[in-house]
Each structure stands twice: as structure tokens, then as C-alpha cells.
Amino acid sequence: MTFTLLAILAFAILALCFGALLGYAAIKFKVQSDPLVDQIDQILPQTQCGQCGYPGCRPYAEAIANGDEINKCPPGGDATIKELADLMGVDAKPLDAAHGIEDVKKVAYIREDECIGCTKCIQACPVDAILGAAKHMHTVIIDECTGCDLCVDPCPVDCIDMVPLASSSQTWQWNFENMTVGDIPVKQV
Amino acid sequence: MSKLSVASSPHHHNGRDTGAVMRIVMLACIPGMLAQVWFFGYGVLIQALICISAAVLAEIAIVELRKKNTERIIKDYSAALAGLLLAISIPPLAPWWIAVIGSVFAIVIVKQLYGGLGYNMFNPAMAAYVMLLISFPVQMTSWLPPTTLTEQSFSLWDAIHTIFTGYTSNGYSVEQLRAGVDGITMATPLDHMKTELLQGFTVQEAITADIFNGSNGIGWTQVAIAYLIGGVVLIKAKVINWHIPISMIIGALITASILYMIDSSLFGSPWLHLINGSLIMGAFFIATDPVSAATTNKGRIIFGALIGIWIILIRAWGNYPDAVAFAVILMNMAVPLIDYYTKPRTYGHKVKK
Amino acid sequence: MFADFDLVMEKLATKNLWDFPGGVHPHGYKTLSNTSPIANVSLPEKLYIPVKQHIGVDSELIVNVGDYVKAGQALTQSHSPFAVPIHASSSGKVVDISNHVAAHASGLSEKTVVIELDGLDAQYELHPLLDYTKYEKTDIVEAICQAGISGMGGAGFPTHLKSNSNKPVEFLIINGVECEPYISADDRLMREHAWQIRQGIDVLVHLLAPKQVIIAVEDNKPDALETMSIACQQQENYQVVSIPTKYPAGGEKQLIQVLTSREVPSNGLPIDVGCLMYNVGTCFAIADAIIEGKPLTKRVVTLTGKALNKPQNVWALIGTPVSHLLKHAEYSPTEQTYPRIIMGGPMMGFTLSSVQVPVVKTTNCLLSPSEGELPNIEDERACIRCSACADACPVSLLPQQMFWYSKAKEYETAEEYNLFDCIECGACAYVCPSEIPLVHYYRIAKSEISQQKIEKEKAEKAKIRFETRNDRLLKEKKAREEKHRLAAEARQQAMKSDTNAKDKIAAALARAKAKKAAQHADADTSVVPADTKVDDKKAKIAAAIARASAKKAAAAKKTTQNTSENAPTSTNVNAETPEVKAKNNESESAEDKKKAKIAAAIARAKAKKAKAKETKNNDE
């Protein structure tokens, strides 16, 4: 009997010790990291386009943190999905086509002589990238434009186009395969 | 003007492709093989033929299955080289199926299942050798004594006959062939020493046997020197770097010296270790296999030195007389770690503390 | 860690130099082109001068289509210190300013000034600073800038920026190494114009006051070594040094390492280790600019390769299309199964996708190899981890690891292996037995990493803007609600306290009515001119709106537009409380009526006038 008690006591003490040790370690070696939502928000492309069905990237980040699917972001595309999958510890899925397809980077362009100065696009722009005032022509600050598409629909005179960003030799990514001239004989495995 | 072809620089190449590298290594094996033929008969040539054919056929089969560019892959000569290295490692009169199983295992299991050339973690020839040694210990240790010591004369036809049927054309078995003039079966010097030591004899007593000439194994010394010549050619031709072979030999010598100083009756002399067994051959031809060796210069030195140390340790305390294959395989596993910790300092960067 | 000045001097004196790790020894093929003097080429019909030919920022064009320009006349100007102007290389008419295929591996087009030459080669007036020691240093630097000089050895870094250093310069290194196979432009230049190169060096010495000048030439150019030695023998702190032939000894970092054992810190500049380096061609151009006042409009270009019947060095005007030079060197297309023209050397040059590409300031060679002269590009094989690449790497990278991670798009790890320290010399791919285009993988990885960084920054900015906007909208909403609440409270209080509340309500109603009436009057006024003269704009707007809404209806699109509730309309919050307003209401309503009347009257008058004018016009 005493032997049993002794054993229980010994294990109890051990458990206490290890518990204390673990608790101490948890405090001492705590890994400081951003809250999950912030980390997800970091990965999202911040176009604020709402194609995911949420009003902006942060709301979608919150939704993902609460268990929503990670494949609803067309501007981010597969790269974003992959990063999100790594972060969330789930499998990467193909982009959900219901929310759109991955496209080349575009920016909004206002055909200025057609603009009537209604300010509707200014109100729609999630990042304040459109400049103008009532009854004055508007223009897009290209550097700030995220290509979210949200200004196109509100325009009553349909004078906003989404144009692909021109590629220059500075931003060229050595993709010989897409060259208009010349041909590349080397095949990479 | 027709369409101009475009490509990324450099547009120049030194003209030495993988196939050329592998062919040079195979050519460098020739002196060693000739010495083997001289001292141990024609067996090694037959084995080379069997192993290379089996390896190449296995490679073709797998590559076809994997739907790759067969011609291009065969022309890199890596399968042929793996076959050749296995052939010079196994006993010259080992039965043909040993050679075939070993070659197929090397190519199919060790190399292609890991993704083919460049992706295998282990040296195919050595992994196959180890597999054979563990599975067929008798056949794999049936080395003939040097021809100068055998009772029977031994022709090319005898070698072929023995490999395929187990008996010479005169009906002698390998066991009988291995018998010396005194009728006692002879083994390799290291094998002999291992057996003697296990029976409680000292090294000095062991090396009095016929197969030793002083402390040098007859034939083995010359074969080692021949491989050394081939190895030096490889270094001169810049096919391999000096780091692995030199550090491996030095590592083995230092370890052997320490053990020898501790107890010279239990441990062989450094010289004995150096020229017996396949230390030299392994240092220049096996451990330097690019795919499975360390890739940084510092890493190569560590890799080689540790192989050398392992060889001596396993020879001293292991159950097998020779240990090159085991040591190489062991160190193959450590390669990623070695590579990671031996990154060289890049130009313009400070030494990391 | 690195050798100090005295030790370097000692080593230089004993000709016992340092070495850099790795490197390769490709066959030189220099004798193909370096045996004959630099030839002159006939003027092409047109010159294509790209607006930007250097690292830095764009400058503004100061010529228009139709302008006549003379040789040496500046075509651009800029106030940015990072810009250098471009010049017309010969006289003629600007016939076009548009996009033209650029001297770049991408084969994309860039803004280019096209000049149709008149063949006269009329010179623009020159402004030499012959006695340059009498001028301010800043004037000399400015003159170098205005001559359009950017580094002629490789990257095209603006020369005047380099020459404006405040840090002390121990070694001024003149790079005549020319380590790439085939190229002999600098070799010929040194042999034929050593004196002028020295004049350029003298200018630099005046500007920079270095402790020592080292002119480095590879030992496979004995003639150039000799001429440079003769040209520099009078200057006591100039030393011509022969360095062992090894590729890429001419790389800036490698040459500094060979001569001084110093290493330029990663992300640093040579000046950080007391060195500055200029190409011999740049020195020649500096002498041209300062002593003769000529801007950089021509350079030596090596035309070589066995597909050319007459390989040679030529003076090529900047902007000359490659096709013109190929014709001059008698290019024979039959020599090439797969036509291939390389701008630059075989190690670092890039293939052209069009022969209309112009010669630019950094073009040192046009290489057109015959079939089998340079290896045909073959498909790559699997990497066998042989590390021949690491042995060849001049900056001690692990090319094979970088290759794995670049290929697998694990860019962070690739960066950990110092991907960005790669100088893209191509030594690794040169020795790779598997013929893997290693440098190509690094380039892709580098450009994608840069792209990702830009995007990350952009995303961060967008996020901030989005959040700021949301905050603002929220604030506005709150302000509006607060206003409504205050108004409601005030109303209630007024009801309670004031017995004349009913009157007030009546007054408010009256005021509202009056306002309505005024608005009506306003509308009238706007209608009046519409009667007489059709308002184009309004009609257009209406039409456009109708069109757009029709389109939308057809597409049955749901607008995601926010309602006007969120719109930033209430920026001019009225501070007036309703109480105050109510007191003023009577006079206001009266005033409003009056105003409306006046407005209507003015409008009518205007309409009359317009009508009168119109009839008058019609009469006439």
C-alpha cells in the first residue's frame, strides 16, 4: 500500500516539476509573432478589390483566420494561395473561379476627354488613387492604383479602362519564350 | 535574314559535358584494371562487361518507363561508370548474377528511384556493393589470391566459365581455386588479418602469411599504385578535386597511426591499411562521385577525412574486413549537413560569426 | 583584413599580384579582329539613338520631329544628376521619335530618336576646356556629364557621378583588361590611341588626386602594354601593370582584388575601399570631351566571329544599326545554320533578336560565330552536383545551390546563398558539364525577387491608403451622426422651451417652400439658354449616361458601388445651429426670392443677347 502511495507521490511530484518547467519554458521562450490576421493580411496583395466577397483585404484576412477558404483571391493568384497554405497549414487549392481568374497586372485609365467629373469613381476607389473634384476631370495616380476594377462599374459614362501595365526592359523577366522576335533553341528541364 | 536565335549568356562552353567527364573517369580506371588483370586474372574484365551491360540496360528500361530522352541520358555515361565501379569492387570470380543483381540494384533502386542522375543520395556502386555484401557474404568475399600464389593456372576462358557456371573449364570450384600451394584457402590480406585477429593472433603473426610480402599484400600493392596513377590523372585533368582523396588518405593514415601507436599487435600499421583493400581506389574513384559527395571545398575535406577515419574504425572493430563502401555510404548521409555548414565566404561579405 | 597602400605598392613593384578565386580560361580568339587598325565605317542612312543608354534616370528630349541636328548636338537635357544627355552622332533631320527595338536582351522597344543623315556630317560648335587645370573641378565634371559619357566597359554608369567623389582615392585603376574572348576594341584603342587615353587619365587625376594610378592590361596584349607604358612613362605615379590572363579578371571587383587584395563590400562601391575604376574607352572619351570638346558620339566596336568575312575593329557612330556594321564586315549568313548575333562577348553578351538594334555607348563587340565555332546551345541535363561551377565562381558563391533554389522558386533561400552577389560572368555555366544555363536561372530569380519586392512595397502602401481612407470615412460618418443628434436635441429643446414652436415650424416650412421656389427659378434659368442654344456638353453627358446605363442594364451587372452615404460629401459641415438659422429665416426667404428673380432676369438677358448675336452671325 505504502509502495503504491509512494509511487503516486513520486509521479505527482515529477508531474509538478515538469509542468512547472514546461510552463516556465512557455513564458521564457515564447515566440513573438504577429496575430494570425496580421500575418494573413501581409500575404494578401492589398488590391482591396473585394473579389473575394469581402470589402477589402483585411476583412478577408479575418475571414480566413475564422476558417474561410484561402483560394478566393484572384489578384494574388497561385503564389498567394501557396503562401497562405503554408501559413495556415492546409493544402493549397486552385483558385476558386467563382471569384475570378488570375490576370496580368492592370491599372485603371480614365479617358479624360470623356470624363464628366461625377466623382463616383473617386468614391469607389478603395485606396484614394483617383484625383479630381466635382465637375472637373478625374485622373488615376498610376503608382497608387491597385488595379481593383472597382471604379469601372460606377462610371456613368464608361470612360474608365483597365489597361495592362506595359513591360519595359527594366521589368523584363528573361522570358525569351514570350518574345515576339527571335526564337530560343534551348530547352530547360 | 531568317529568325535570329536568342539565348541567355554565356554563349560559350568549355566543351566538357557530363558524358566526357564520365568517360575520363572510366579511362582513368584502366591502369588499375590492368593491374587487377595481371595479379588476379581476367575476371575483372568479364565483370566489367557484365556490370556495364546490365547497368546500361537497366537504365534504358527505367528511362523508357519514365518517358525521358533515353539517348541523351545514356550518353551521359553515368550508368556505365556505375557499372564499371561496381565491377572493379566485387571479387573477379563472383558469379554473374551477383554482378547483374548489383548493377540493376545500383541503377534502379539507388539511382533512378531517387529521381535519376543528380538526385541520388548514395553512391550507386557502393550502395549496391553493400547490399551484395550483406546479402551474399560468401560470394562477395571469395577473392582469389594473386595468380602468383595459386596452384592452378588460370586462363580467360576459365574466368568466363567460372563466372557463369561456378567452375573452371577443368571443373575446379572457386573454393578450390582459392586454395594455396599448401592447400589452405587464401583470402584477401585484410580478410586474413581480420580472421587471424579474431582467433587471437597478433597482427605481426597474421602478416607472416603467404599473401603478405612483408606487410604488403602481394598484388594489392601494385593494384593500389595503379589506381593512384589513374587518380592523379583525374586530378590533373581537373575531373576531380584533390580535396576528397587527399583528406581521405590522410584521415585514414592518422587514425591508423594513432591506433597503431596504442597497440601495434591489435591494429595494423598505417602502411598496411593504405595499400591493402580498396582505400586508394575508393579515395580517387568512389568517394569523389560528384552526386553524392560534399560540394564545397571545406566540406570535401571534412567529408574525405571522415571517410578515412570511418574506414579504419570499421576495419578495426567492424565485422567486415574492408570498409570503404560502408564509410562512403555513412558519409553520403552527412553531406547535406556538411554542405550547409561549410558555405564559403562570398566576395565582399564579412566572415559570419 | 586587406592590404594597405604600402603593401599594395610593394606588391606592384615586385609584380607579385594577388589572385581571385575561380575563373576560367576560355580560348581568346582575339587575333581574329585585332590585327588590323580601327577602320572607319561609311555613314549609315539613318541613326537610331535611344534616349536612355545608361543606368540612372531618363532625361527630357529637346528636339522635335523635323528639326535639323548637327553632329554633337545634344538631343536631351536634364536637371537630375543621375541623367546624362545623348547627342546626335552625325548631322541630319530628326524624322521620328518613337519606340525602336533596344540594345537589350529583351528585344523590347524603347524611345529612340531617328535621324536621317544628310551625309555632310556638319559639326555642332565645340566647347573644349583645353587648359582644364584652370577650371573649377565642378566645371570639368559638368563638362564630362554634358559630353554624355557613361561607363563604356559594362554597365554604363554615368561617369561624372563617379568622378565627383569626396572620399579619398588611393588607387585610380584604369581597366584595359578586356578579359572576354573575341573582344579587342580596348586592345586596339590602347595600341593606337594610348596618348589620348593618357590625357583622359590626366584629367581624372586632376579631378580625383589619387595616390597612385594603375593601368591594368592582361598579359595577352603585349603591344597594348608597351604602348601604354610608353605613353605613361613620364608620369611617375602611373604604373602599367600586366595581369595574368584569366576570365573574368576584367570585372571591376575582380580587378580590384587582383591589384589590391581588397574586396568591395557587398552593396558597397569601390570607393569604399579607396579605389575607383575607369575603362580605357571611358578615358579616351573623357579626353575627347575635355581637350577637344567633343561629346561621346562614336566608339570602337569589335566586329568578329567566323561568320564575318572581314572581322575587324571599327569606329561606329552611336545609333548605327547593327545591320550596317554587319554589311561592312561582310557577314555571310551561310556560315550559320541558326543565325546568331551577340552584342558583347560570348560570356556576358546578349543575343540580338533584330539586326535593327543600334550601337549604344556600352556596345563593345558584335560577335557572329560560324556554325560550330561556339558550342550550339543544347538542352540542359540534370545537375550532377559536381561543383565545377563553385570552383569556377570568381566570387565564391555556390552556383549549384543557387540553381536548385532559383529553379524551385525558393527565392528566400536563394537570397541566403547571396544570389545578388552574382556578377553574372557566366564562368559557372561555361564549365557546367550538364550545360545548364545557370546564369539564366539567376537572372530570372533576381528579376522576380525585385518584382516581388516592388509589389510587396506597393501592397503595403495600398494597405495604408485603404486603412487611412476607412478611418476617414468612419470619422465623417461619426461627425454626421453627431450633427444629426445635436440637431434633434436642439429641436426637442426648442419645442419644450419655446411656446412659439408652432410658429417656428411654420416659418421653417415657409423657408423650405421659398427655397424650393428659388430652385425652381434656377432651373428655369438653366432652361432658358437651352431653348436658344443647344448645350453640347450637357447633351453629351446625358447621352453618355444613357449609353452607359443601357450597357449596364444589358450586362445586368450588379454595381458594387457604395451608396452615397459613404461619400465624402459632408466635408463642409455647417456650424450654424438650427436655432440661429430659424431666427434668420424670414429675411432669408425674402432674400432668396429676390435672388432668384435677379438670376432669372440675368439669364433672360443673356439669352436675348445670345440670340441677337446668333441672328447677327447668320446675317453675316
C352: distance to nearest CA of chain B, Å?
7
Asked if the Cβ–Cβ distance from A186 to C377 is below 8 Å, we say yes
Residue of A120, A146, A186 lying closest to C437 (CB–CB) = A186
- Between A180 and B61, residue with greater pLDDT: B61
Residues of chain C in contact with residue B291, where contact means CB-CB under 8 angstroms, are: 384-386
Neighbors of chain B by Cβ distance (3+ pairs < 8 Å): A, C
A14: distance to nearest CA of chain C, Å?
43
Say if C139 falls within a structural domain.
yes
Residues of chain A in contact with residue C561, where contact means CB-CB under 8 angstroms, are: 120, 123-124, 153-154
**In this structure, are residues C347 and C430 in contact, taking their beta carbons and an 8 Å threshold?**
yes
List own/partner pairs for C469-476 with CB under 8 A and 24 or more apart: C469/A126, C469/A127, C469/A128, C470/A56, C472/C568, C473/C566, C473/C568, C476/C568, C476/C570, C476/C571
Chain C touched by B119 (CB under 8 Å): yes
Whether B19 shows a pLDDT value over 70: the answer reads yes
User: Is C232 labelled a binding residue?
Assistant: no
B232-248 residue pLDDT tens: 999 999 899 999 999 99
**Spans of chain C below 70 pLDDT:** 1, 498-502, 504-505, 519-544, 548-620
Q: What does the pLDDT read at residue C618? A: 56
Residue of C108, C354, C549 lying closest to A172 (CB–CB) = C108
Residue range(s) defining the domain that contains residue B294: 186-339
Last residue within a domain, chosen from C293, C313, C329: C293
Separation between Cα atoms, residue C226 and residue C238, nearest integer Å: 14
Q: What does the pLDDT read at residue C620? A: 47
Residue of A116, A123, A169 lying closest to C562 (CB–CB) = A123
Asked if the Cβ–Cβ distance from C384 to B118 is below 8 Å, we say yes
Q: What does the pLDDT read at residue A101? A: 81
Name the strands in the sheet holding C109-117, side by side, starting at the edge strand that comes first in the sequence. C46-50, C109-117, C92-101, C68-69
Separation between Cα atoms, residue B62 and residue B73, nearest integer Å: 11
DSSP C234-283: T-TTEEEEEE---BTTTSHHHHHHHHH---PPTT--GGGGTEEEEEHHHH
Say if C508 falls within a structural domain.
yes
Q: So what's the ipTM on this one?
A: 0.86
Chain C touched by B123 (CB under 8 Å): no
* Statement to judge: residues C416 and C515 lie in one domain: no
- List all residues 6 or more positions away from B4 whose beta carbon is below 8 Å from its beta carbon: A181, A182, A183, C339, C340, C341, C351, C352, C353, C354, C355
Residue of A45, A123, A185 lying closest to C377 (CB–CB) = A185
Asked if the Cβ–Cβ distance from A185 to B7 is below 8 Å, we say yes
User: Is C179 labelled a binding residue?
Assistant: no
3-class SS of residue C368: coil
Q: What is the β-pairing status of strands C238-243 and C342-343?
A: unpaired
Mean pLDDT lowest for which of B1-15, B178-192, C23-37? B178-192
Cell of C580: 440661429
Separation between Cα atoms, residue B20 and residue B234, nearest integer Å: 12
Chain A touched by B3 (CB under 8 Å): yes
Q: What does the pLDDT read at residue B190? A: 80
Asked if the Cβ–Cβ distance from B8 to A183 is below 8 Å, we say no
Asked if the Cβ–Cβ distance from A181 to C101 is below 8 Å, we say yes
Separation between Cα atoms, residue C335 and residue C370, nearest integer Å: 5
Separation between Cα atoms, residue C510 and residue C596, nearest integer Å: 16
Which residue of chain C is at minimal alpha-carbon distance from B115? C382
How far are the Cα atoms of A12, B30, C389, C390, C399 from residue C21, in angstroms, in the given order? 63, 33, 12, 10, 14
Asked if the Cβ–Cβ distance from A123 to C444 is below 8 Å, we say no
What's phi and psi for B70, nearest 5 deg?
Answer: -60, -50
Residue range(s) defining the domain that contains residue C513: 503-538+577-620
Q: What does the pLDDT read at residue C531? A: 43
Chain C touched by B352 (CB under 8 Å): no
* Statement to judge: residues C283 and C136 lie in one domain: yes
Separation between Cα atoms, residue B73 and residue B65, nearest integer Å: 13
Last residue within a domain, chosen from C234, C265, C293: C293
Q: Which sign, positive or negative, has the C-alpha torsion A16, A17, A20, A21?
A: negative
Say if B157 falls within a structural domain.
no
The alpha-helical segments, DSSP class H, found in C15-169 are 137-146, 159-162
What's phi and psi for B270, nearest 5 deg?
Answer: -55, -40
Say how many C-beta atoms besides its own lie within 10 A of residue B208's C-beta.
10
Residues of chain B in contact with residue C2, where contact means CB-CB under 8 angstroms, are: none
Which residue of chain C is at minimal alpha-carbon distance from B13? C430
3-class SS of residue C51: coil
3-class SS of residue A171: coil
Say if B139 falls within a structural domain.
no
Give the mean pLDDT of B197-210.
76
The total domain count for chain C is 3
Locus of grid cell 485603371: A108
Q: What does the pLDDT read at residue C562? A: 42
Say if C566 falls within a structural domain.
no
Say how many C-beta atoms besides its own lie within 10 A of residue C583's C-beta.
12
Q: What does the pLDDT read at residue C533? A: 44
- Domains of chain A in start order, with CATH, are 36-99 (1.10.15.40), 104-165 (3.30.70.20)
Give the mean pLDDT of A46-60.
87
CATH number at residue C260: 3.40.50.11540
Separation between Cα atoms, residue C202 and residue C580, nearest integer Å: 83
Give the mean pLDDT of B307-312.
94
Give the residue ranges of the annotated binding site of A for [4Fe-4S] cluster: 49, 52, 57, 73, 115, 118, 121, 125, 145, 148, 151, 155
Q: What does the pLDDT read at residue A67? A: 85
Q: What does the pLDDT read at residue C590? A: 55
Separation between Cα atoms, residue B122 and residue B292, nearest integer Å: 5
Which residue of chain C is at minimal alpha-carbon distance from A125? C466
Say if C190 falls within a structural domain.
yes
Chain C touched by B33 (CB under 8 Å): no
- List all residues 6 or more positions away from A162 whose beta carbon is below 8 Å from its beta carbon: A106, A107, A108, A109, A147, A149, A152
Q: pLDDT band at residue B184, thresholds of 50, 70 and 90?
A: low
- Between A180 and A75, residue with greater pLDDT: A75
Asked if the Cβ–Cβ distance from B12 to C377 is below 8 Å, we say no
How far are the Cα atoms of A67, C429, C436, C444 from residue C414, in angstroms, in the given order? 32, 17, 17, 12
| Cα C212 to the center of its chain, rounded Å | 34
Residues of chain B in contact with residue A185, where contact means CB-CB under 8 angstroms, are: 5, 7
Mutate to test the interface with B, among A172, A175, A176, A180 (most CBs of B within 10 A): A176
B166: left (phi over 0), alpha (psi -120 to 50) or beta: left
Separation between Cα atoms, residue C127 and residue C290, nearest integer Å: 8
Which residue of chain A is at minimal alpha-carbon distance from C449? A173
Assign 3-class secondary structure to B99-130.
Answer: HHHHHHHHHHHHHHHHCCCCCCCCCHHHHHHH
3-class SS of residue A139: strand
Give the residue ranges of the annotated binding site of A: 49, 52, 57, 73, 115, 118, 121, 125, 145, 148, 151, 155
The total domain count for chain B is 1
Q: pLDDT band at residue B185, thresholds of 50, 70 and 90?
A: low
**In this structure, are residues C473 and C568 in contact, taking their beta carbons and an 8 Å threshold?**
yes
Give the mean pLDDT of B150-179.
75
Whether B152 shows a pLDDT value over 70: the answer reads no
Highest-pLDDT range among A31-40, B259-268, C24-33? C24-33
User: Is C283 labelled a binding residue?
Assistant: no
Q: What does the pLDDT read at residue B32? A: 93
User: Is C386 labelled a binding residue?
Assistant: yes
Chain C touched by A173 (CB under 8 Å): yes
> Which C residues 568-607 touch A at CB under 8 Å?
568
Number of H helices, E strands in chain A: 5, 4
